[in-house]
Amino acid sequence: MSIHDLVAEKQPESFVFSPENEALIKKIIAKYPKGKQASAVMPLLDLAQRQNDNWIPMKAIEKIAELLGMARIRVLEVASFYTMYNLKPVGKYFLQLCGTTPCMLRGSDDIARCIKDKLGIVSGESTEDGKFSVLEVECLGACVNAPIVQVNDDFYEDLDYDSMELLIESLSNDTPLPQGSVKGRSGSQAETGPTSLTKMKSKSAALKSSIKSKKVSVVSTEKARS
Ligand code: FES
C-alpha cells in the first residue's frame, strides 16, 4: 500500500488550530524537555483529528511538523503507523473492530458479518450516507471482555451478532447504547460473576463485624466499671 492509498485525495487548502487548541499545544509542548518537543507529536495529531471531524489533513501534518521542528515525513510516519489516526474522512460513527486472536476466538468474525449484513461495508469502507465507517484493527487492550468494537471514543464489549445488530440500530437512530459490556459484566470479572473475591468479601465482612462487636463489648465493660 502506498502513501497515496492512505491519505485523502481531496485535501483542504489550509489548516489552522483553534485558539483553544493553540493554548493546549503550548501546555503539551512544555511538558517535554527542551529539544525533545518531537515527543508531543502524538497528542498534537490527536488534537488535529478531533478538531477536524475525526481525520487529519496533510495541512495539519505540515503545521505539526512546523510547530515541533520535525520533518513532515516523520509526522506522517507516526500518523500512518497508528490506526487511531485517520488520514481520510470517516463516518460519524467510526467502528474499530478488533480482529486479534482473543477477539477472533470469541466471535469477532460474527461481528464483521453483522456489520456487512446491516451496513453493507467491510474493513476500510464507509456507508454512502457518511454515517458509518469500519476498520479492522489489532488488539484494543480490552481482550478480557472480548470481542470488542470501539465506536469513536467508546468501547462496546462482550458483543455477539445480535447485540452488534442492536448497537448498529441504536447508532443509526443517534441514541447509542451505554458503553461497556453489553452483558453487564463489571470490570473484567468472570461471566459467572465474582468467585474468589466473594470469599474475600465475606471474610472481610466477618472481620469488620467481629471488630465492631469487640468495640461494643469494651464500651459496655467501661460503662459498667464507671
Ligand atoms: S484481542 Fe481484542 S481487545 Fe485485545
* Residue located via cell numbers 497508528: 82
Report the range of poorest mean pLDDT among 64-78, 135-149, 198-212.
198-212
pLDDT at position 214 is: 65
- 122 assigned to some structural domain: yes
Q: Is the pLDDT of residue 207 over 80?
A: no
Residue 175 domain-assigned (yes or no): yes
Note whether 111 and 70 are same-domain residues: no
- Measured from the CB, is residue 143 less than 6 Å from ligand 1? yes
In the chain, the number of structural domains is 2
Same domain as 100, residue 173: yes
Structural domain contains residue 2: no
Atom of ligand 1 nearest to the CA of 98: 2
Q: Report how far ligand 1's centroid is from the alpha carbon of 108 (Å).
A: 10
Q: Are strands 132-137 and 149-151 parallel, antiparallel or unpaired?
A: unpaired
User: Which of 98, 106, 156 for a ligand 1 pocket mutation test, highest count of atoms within 8 Å of Cβ?
Assistant: 98
Q: Is the CB of 28 under 6 A from ligand 1?
A: no
Average pLDDT over residues 46-67: 97
pLDDT at 102: 96
Looking at the structure, do residues 171 and 117 belong to the same domain, yes or no? yes
Q: Is residue 211 part of a domain?
A: no
Percent of the chain with pLDDT over 90: 77
Q: Is residue 86 part of a domain?
A: no
Atom index in ligand 1 nearest the CA of residue 139 equals: 4
Angle among Cα 16, 22, 26 to the nearest 5 degrees reads 140
Cell of 97: 473492530
* Residue 140 Cβ < 6 Å to ligand 1: yes
The widest CA-to-CA distance across the chain, in whole angstroms, is 89
215 inside domain: no
Check residue 4 and give its pLDDT. 73
Instruction: Assess whether pLDDT exceeds 70 at residue 177.
Output: yes
What confidence category does residue 188 fall into, taking pLDDT thresholds of 50, 70 and 90?
confident
**Which parts of the chain fold into alpha helices (H)?**
3-6, 19-30, 41-51, 58-68, 72-81, 101-105, 108-119, 161-172, 196-225
Average pLDDT of span 84-105: 97
Q: Over 80: is that where the pLDDT of 78 sits?
A: yes
Q: Is 97 in the pocket of ligand 1 (CB under 6 A)?
A: no
Q: Is 65 in the pocket of ligand 1 (CB under 6 A)?
A: no
What's the pLDDT at 205? 63
The band of 192, judged by pLDDT with boundaries at 50, 70 and 90, is confident
For ligand 1, whether the C-beta of 137 sits within 6 Å is no
pLDDT at 201 over 80: no
- The CB of 102 under 6 Å from ligand 1? The reply is yes
Asked whether residue 47 falls in the same domain as residue 108, the answer is no
Q: Hey, which of 83, 135, 148, 156 would you mutate to test ligand 1's pocket, going by the most ligand atoms within 8 Å of its Cβ? A: 148
Mean residue pLDDT of the chain comes to 90
Q: What is the mean pLDDT of residues 101-112?
A: 97
- Mean pLDDT for 99-127 is 97
pLDDT at 204: 60
189 lines ligand 1 (CB under 6 A): no
Q: Average pLDDT in the 90-115 region?
A: 97
Report the relative pairing of strands 132-137 and 93-98 from DSSP bridges. parallel
pLDDT exceeds 70 at position 118: yes
